[in-house]
Structure 1
Amino acid sequence: MPPADVPGRAPAVPVLAVTGLDVHHGRRRRRRPVLHGVSLTVAPGETLGLIGETGSGKTTLARAVLGLVRPSAGSITLAGEEVSTHGARQWRALRRRGIVQYVFQDPLRSLDPDLTVERSLAEPLLVGGVPRAEAATRIRAVLARVRLEEDLLGRVPGELSGGQRQRAAVARALVTEPRLVILDEPVSALDSAHRVQILRILKELRAAGVALLFISHDLGSVAGSADRIAVLHRGELVESGTARDVITRPRHPYTRLLVGSAPTLRGAPADRAARDALRALLPA
């Protein structure tokens, strides 16, 4: 869970705050809304699970937070800095600082297939002005953090297993010591053993104070990792709350549909069995 607010002190400033966000695609008369009035926050050491079907606007929201999509309305604040009106030069400077990082569903999209793991990890540090000796030290520290052996540094992504590639992608995101990591379906392409490894790493990051935005279409993927869950449906945030409340007491019909679509237990009503299966994933 995120750190509790101490009585008498101001609550922790969110690492990410999105307020009234609208995003449209297209031009003039062909413009169509993709996100409408979306508001959410992620605090230090908190994992927010963003759930929604394909086309609901999840990835568009992530791209807006990363400065790759310009909002039509609303605001985005990263580590206390209003960024929704930033120009290209300001975004370049912000990215060099490594405050926010992104992990793709397919690590081959974020790892250059022609670069060794070592060069991929070093690149964001060297661009940010980190000396080579310090970069080498940080690379080895982050490898240990994601449980990758140092002898993999000389390999290219195509020489790694799927689980190793995803951990290398997570390592590349962590090497800049970000405040926020956005993970877009980080475990959907992995087998069960590698899913467990990645989810364990994410829990450790949360404990270390890193804010995580975990994007998925699968409620079961985030049930055991997220502190809070936000449900996105057709570009609107239809429900949000603690993971336990959203799973055990869903209010919106779409959320109830998601809960009812979880794997069921033979011999029990589908919605009850699905809820029981998801509840079993929640932290004690």
Structure 2
Amino acid sequence: MSVLEVTGLDVHYGLRRHRRQALAGASLTVEPGEIVGLIGETGSGKSTFARAVLGLVRPSAGRIVVDGEDVSGHRDRQWRALRRRGVLQYVFQDPLRSLDPDLTIADSLLEPLLLKGIPRVEAVERARGYLPRVRLDEELLPRLPGELSGGQRQRVAVARALITEPKLVILDEPVSALDAANRVQVLEILKDLRDTGIALVFISHDLGSVAGIADRVAVLYQGSVVEVGPARDVIAAPEHPYTKLLVGSAPTLRMAAAGRAEREALRALLNA
């Protein structure tokens, strides 16, 4: 059973003549333990897609199924119950938006576990055990978010999203605000999650950020998913004109995915 099934999703903003369509028939499935990169330019509908799946905006049409539960028509109370179960989690682009500035790192990690009804002693042990998984030291637990670097805060945000052992985590541009060293660390952490069974949707405008960790790539253009396939195939042989444009703007990606003969041909083309 797919952990996420989105079919024919339409989302509109505004009223009457100022009504604007943000998503138009977008469809995507995500399997347990799979990493799917959702790629598109600014304004393509990526964040709207995430917000719809999270229940933060109501679709005009279409169907959303999370872990076998049709959430398309859920009311606020039903969404709250789903979130408290920890089935679905979200990581923001800006680490400062992910964490309450007045809560210590320990309290931020404990909060979702206590809401789920896990006893405090067990929750404390789980919080301690999750820090090494995101390459952080236990000594950070009593600190406030403002006392951490941006990279540390984002890794805490990832730990907080994972700590309830959700079925699906949506990450909205999780490395775009980080420097190169922290970006690599976060990407490596996400790549290591394949063995946990947690599914990830990695939203980005940068194909290069997800090419090395995604099992599949979905390309979003003007509110519609125009191409989906294994990351290697999409990079080596893009079909949609927009995907070709994305790959063409980062020729080293296509070079890395190609076979020997194709690499030689690409080098000749690039050096022409």
Q: Confirm or deny that 1:250 pairs with 2:238.
A: yes
Higher helix share: 2
Query: 1:274: how far off?
Result: 5.3
CA distance in 1, matches of 2:253, 2:170: 27
- 1:26/1:255 CA distance change after superposition, 3 Å: same
Q: Confirm or deny that 1:207 pairs with 2:186.
A: no
Equivalent residue letter for 1:14? S
Structure 2 length-normalised TM: 0.92
Q: 1:44-101: CA deviations, max 9, x gaps?
A: 1100100000110000000000000101000000000000100011001000000010
RMSD of aligned alpha carbons: 1.3
CA distance in 2, matches of 1:100, 1:88: 15
Equivalent residue letter for 2:12? H
Q: Is the 8 A contact 1:261 1:274 kept in 2?
A: no
Q: Confirm or deny that 1:154 pairs with 2:132.
A: no
CA distance in 2, matches of 1:204, 1:261: 28
Q: Is the 8 A contact 2:235 2:253 kept in 1?
A: no
Query: 1:197: how far off?
Result: 1.3
Equivalent residue letter for 1:200? E
Query: 1:32: how far off?
Result: 1.3
State the partner residue of 2:254: 275
Q: 1:192-231: CA deviations, max 9, x gaps?
A: 2212211111112122111000000000000000010000
Equivalent residue letter for 1:58? K
State the partner residue of 1:39: 27
Equivalent residue letter for 2:205? H
Helix, strand or coil: the match of 2:238? coil
Aligned runs of 1:122-201 on 2, under 5 Å? 122-201=110-189
Equivalent residue letter for 1:135? A
Q: Which portions of structure 1, spanning 4 or more consecutive aligned residues, are displaced by more than 6 angstroms?
A: none
State the partner residue of 1:268: none
Query: 1:30: how far off?
Result: 2.2
| Number of positions where the alignment pairs a residue of Structure 1 with one of Structure 2 | 259
Runs of at least 5 residues in structure 2 that lack an aligned partner in the other structure: 260-272
Equivalent residue letter for 1:63? R
Equivalent residue letter for 2:97? R
Query: 1:277: how far off?
Result: 4.9
Identity of aligned residues (%): 71
CA distance in 2, matches of 1:275, 1:204: 24
Structure 1 length-normalised TM: 0.88
State the partner residue of 1:88: 76
State the partner residue of 1:227: 215
Q: Is the 8 A contact 1:20 1:75 kept in 2?
A: yes
